[in-house]
Chains A and B, each alone.
Chain A
């Protein structure tokens, strides 16, 4: 029997070289064609992948957000979407994006870090006005974590500078989270007695800090595992998570009378989504964070939701909150005055001071 390739059919034997050649040519043509042609015909069906570059403690939050968003996006558009996550220190993550990590969206700890991405031309300068609430879909604040029974009776900021109280907080020079801690302390003291009082207060506070860890998770480890210090200054969501993970009966959360409104911002990375053609999905992903479903997930992960309804379902303790814009005139100013080299934090540790 003759085959279509003109050879004799040899049952059970390997295809001949000529047959292989023709077959592979056909396959190659098919591959080229499918790559070039049908893209427009069924764009919705082609799966899309997003990369969310985030900071350390949001891992659990975004695992849940990603699953929920993929479901909702599939329902709305019929398109499969998978979201990859990358986590690390906020500043380190921003540098990775600056150095070419192809992030479709960034969800970082500080607007200052997203500003750096915008300054490099990867996003517009007004990125923070593109989404509601300063582009921060959920918030948190800075609270204290103390040991069970609160042996040093720590109730509010003045208790942290008492002699004999040991305070754990990471270095604001290396940790974005620690900058929120520092600014919360400064802002509280400045409201009371102005900048001079704040400077004095912060200086006394850091005198009580025996160890400056390089990151927030390291500081939590120092406090919880090594048993060092009487109080850990921490993000509320991290403090609540630590209590939840370690089981009640070991740690207590103390909410001070006033603290800073921590607004971790999110942004599309325009240059990347335009190049990859993922803008629609990336945009929808961030907007999803503002939906009732997204807000519910944030609240369940101990972030304060923006939505009043989610806030009613998950009540957070009352605390007077000030924003970085009110108290410091924005991140750029705060960073320059306090944390850049030669800034106030360095002066605290200058020789002879």
Chain B
């Protein structure tokens, strides 16, 4: 059934400064794909500040977009439909599939971030950027150490600290540009040329800084890393790994993904910390390693009494020709599991993911395993701020209420709590 496209931009009320623009989908989309539409809408146009889906009879019929200024309705209708048609409509729905559920069902209240801010434990530093103090510093150190301890029970990992910047070439090799252009963060600088420097000094004195400064920044050879595992694959590029079992590499580092429309909370950060573990080796061994470590993490979460679950997930591929096929195959083959913890009544956030890449990065970066050909890989990543935030949502700020292992662990890392 095709619905006639209707659109129009209307102010929502005198003086509110907010406009609502209704965009109809040319053909409804299955309601199960609603979240796939929602996660893309803020990337359709920077003018969109919010949205509500228009659903009926289990289908998404359209979208109401919020904005601070009137939107060009025809243009937005075309853009929304283009994204839905390209990235969402062709996705085949798969039933939600949980692989683990905590036996704990903790009562979690709203307002944790506000309480942390009132206590001086967090300060919003910018969009999606939060300065953290105690008790978060101790908890960040504790959870990171706990993850490494659990990893060390079954594996002999090699640890590295990577530079903050990652080469653009490494991200290109990883296929990042085709998959996630919406998250990309280039790092540039004034091009090294005396004319450029002096031109900048003159224009800065006259007009200050605006986007025209980018004309003097020709260099795009480095980016901010969206995750740590690309550093690892770049480091191991062109190598043949000894055929002596799974190679395990771990690193912790700042990671950056532009997400658009950040709320004042720690649930979605632009600048955050990942503890990542990469497994490389033969296919079955890599898969078994992911499974073993994942089950150990579930036991740890269970031991701490945290509420949550782990389910099959998919990455937010965006705008590519094969986005739908990639998402569906990722879910069908269970290439990604997401560990989600409760942060508010009825709301969870992903605090970790367990990903199998098969030969994707081994092939891309030319990493072999002995005489067996391309190495297979998996990675496990924890968003440490999210992990700590979910813990605080469930247990509160008073360390006297925390589980004994966390109290003892935070003391052991030299924390002030």
Bound together: no
